[in-house]
Every structure is written in C-alpha cells, then in structure tokens.
Amino acid sequence: MHKILICLFLFILPLGAMAQLSVGIRGGYATSTYSYQASAATRSRSVDGIGSPTFSFVVEYFNSKNAGIELNLQQLTLGFRQFNGDEKLNQTELTYLKVPLLASFFAGQSGRFQIKVGPHVGYLLQAKDITREFEGETPRELPTYGGAGDVPNKLMYGLTAGAGISKLFGKSTLSAEVRFGYDFTNPESQGRIFDMSSTNLEFTLAYLFRIKERKF
C-alpha cells in the first residue's frame, strides 16, 4: 500500500508545477450495501448495509479550463447487517483507506456543475464484528471478518463516479457532491462463501484552498 501512495504522489508532483493546484478536506456520510453468493449453486443475496461518517484529504489540479484530476486519501467504513428468520443480527464493519483518482469535468465559472469518474484502490485498516447472534444458516450466512482466525483480503479496488456543485470564493472553493462507488472487493479469502461485492453512496461537503495558480 505504501508503494501505491508513493507512486500516486510522484505522479501528482510534476503535474502540479504546470497546473492550478488546490488542497483541502472532504467530509460527509456514506452508506453501503453488500451482496453475496453462499456457494456457486445459490443465487446472489443482498443484505442490509450500514451508514457511517467519512472524511478525506483532497488534492485537485486543473490542467485545462474545464477539466482536471482529483486525488483523495479517504477513510471509509463499509459493512453489513444480516438478519435471520428469528430477527437475530450479525453485523460487521470494514474500515478502509480508500484512494480514488478521478477525472474531473466542470461547467460554469464561479458557480460550477461538476462530474467526476475514475478508479479507486484501497487497503483494509480494520475489520470488526460488532454483533454475532446466529450461525449455521442454510444457505450460509456471511462469515466473521474480525475474529482471531479470520484473514480477510486487504485490497480494495473498484470504480467511483460523482456529481455535484461548487462555488468559488477567491482562492477558496466550497462544493457539495454525491458519489457512487462499486467495489470488486471480496474480503473473503478462506473459501467460506463463493463471492461477495459491495456498493457505497456518499453525501459530502468539501473545502479546497488554491495554493498554486495555473500558468498560461
């Protein structure tokens, strides 16, 4: 994971020399949903997700009037809540360092509409089983990921897209945005279930401060 962050930093550094560069923070609320196949012969099942705060450090630069790239270093907690027929609950939370690298497209001047899309990678920081009230279901319930014998996959990867509005105030920018992420991430590494995937929806506000003007 450290190699990924170093490569992204080295990629951003030379581009910042010829682009308008801004840094800031983004925070808000994220919800997630999970679906899984207990075995290859069973259909995919969806389970309830969770909601949690999210925040990130943001680097944004423009290399043209209405287009640029945005890099985020984001803490994001995903998870699931699964009930059985007796309304007993299993809940697990997975906290990631997520790194989206997004192409940004803008329309407008001081008030702008923005669209962003690109890949993301990430690393699992913590897996925590909040509640485990049942086991032995048919088809199998989602397994634990925060136990002593659990070895979840650490890598996250997928696609992120977002849309929102922003307003310029001198060198400052305020923006409101909705983002959708699809993760190909399957934390299962011990063959207890066949497949697993997740999506997440984020509602965020961001503040950016311009530290370098674009050279024309």
3-state secondary structure (DSSP) of residue 198: strand
pLDDT computed for residue 16 by the predictor: 44
The predicted-structure confidence for 140-189, as pLDDT tens digits, reads as follows: 999 999 999 999 999 999 999 999 999 989 899 999 999 999 998 889 99
Is residue 139 reached through a cis peptide bond, with omega within 30 degrees of 0 on the bond before it? yes
Q: What is the pLDDT of residue 178?
A: 98
Query: What pLDDT does 130 receive?
Result: 97
DSSP class of 147:
S
For residues 68-94, average pLDDT:
96
- Hunting for tokens 């923070």 — which residue is that? 25
pTM of the complete model: 0.87
Using an 8 Å Cβ cutoff, are 205 and 174 in contact? Answer: yes
* Closest listed residue to residue 190, CA positions, set 137, 143, 125: 143
Beta strands in the chain (DSSP E): 20-37, 45-49, 51-64, 67-83, 89-108, 111-132, 155-169, 172-183, 195-212
Look at residue 209 and tell me whether its pLDDT is greater than 80. Answer: yes
* C-alpha span between 200 and 77 (Å, rounded): 10
- 3-state class of 158 per DSSP? strand
**Averaged pLDDT, 121-130:** 97
pLDDT for the residue numbered 9: 47
Which of 10-19, 125-134, 191-200 is predicted with the least confidence, judged by mean pLDDT?
10-19
Is the pLDDT higher at 195 or at 18? 195
Convert the pLDDT of each residue in 18-73 to its tens digit: 568 999 999 999 999 999 999 998 999 999 999 999 999 999 988 777 889 999 99
Model confidence at 10, in pLDDT bands (50, 70, 90)?
very low
